Amino acid sequence: MKALRMLGRALRLRCPRCGGGPLFRHWLEMRERCPVCALRLERGEQGYQVGSYMFNIVLSELLFAAVFVAVVVATWPSPPWTALQYGGAVMMVVAPFILFPWCRTLFLCFDLMIRPDVDTPDMPWDPEQESEERREERGKA
């Protein structure tokens, strides 16, 4: 259930760990840390962004394949091959930009599931178990 909660938070472009946000300064620029729990969003490893970019490319290609198959099935026996060809090219350029924020937060979510955060050990893994005293302390900061 914790994994589903984290995925839901990521799909809403919120911090997968605490649900806080916003995580983005603007569409293509993610903040350095979560504004609520101070989770490092880059995770500090060389090549970390490459993983989220690959995630983005795969998701864009799957979206293209789903739209392509849906159009071919819906218009069979005479699919609009020219429209599919040019529309597919435009879609493969535009989709990664549109999907970018979701791919970044989903990649962060999967990374947190595999490698729980060690950057901010004073923050409990499950924010719902955080003590009232700690919440007040964090609110004053």
The 3-state secondary structure of the chain reads CHHHHHHHHHHCCCCCCCCCCCCEEECCEECCECCCCCCECCCCCCCHHHHHHHHHHHHHHHHHHHHHHHHHHHHCCCCCHHHHHHHHHHHHHHHHHHHHHHHHHHHHHHHHHHCCCCCCCCCCCCHHHCCHHHHHHHHHC
Q: What's the pTM?
A: 0.75
Asked whether residue 125 carries a pLDDT value surpassing 50, the answer given is: no
Q: Is residue 1 very low, low, confident or very high in pLDDT (cuts 50, 70, 90)?
A: confident
pLDDT tens digits for range 113-123: 888 765 555 45
Q: In the chain, pLDDT over 70 holds for what percent of residues? A: 82
pLDDT tens digits for range 3-59: 999 999 999 999 999 999 899 999 889 998 999 988 888 876 777 788 888 999 999
The per-residue pLDDT of the chain, averaged, comes to 85
pLDDT of residue 66: 97
**Residue 65 and residue 92: Cα distance in Å, rounded?**
10
pLDDT of residue 119: 56
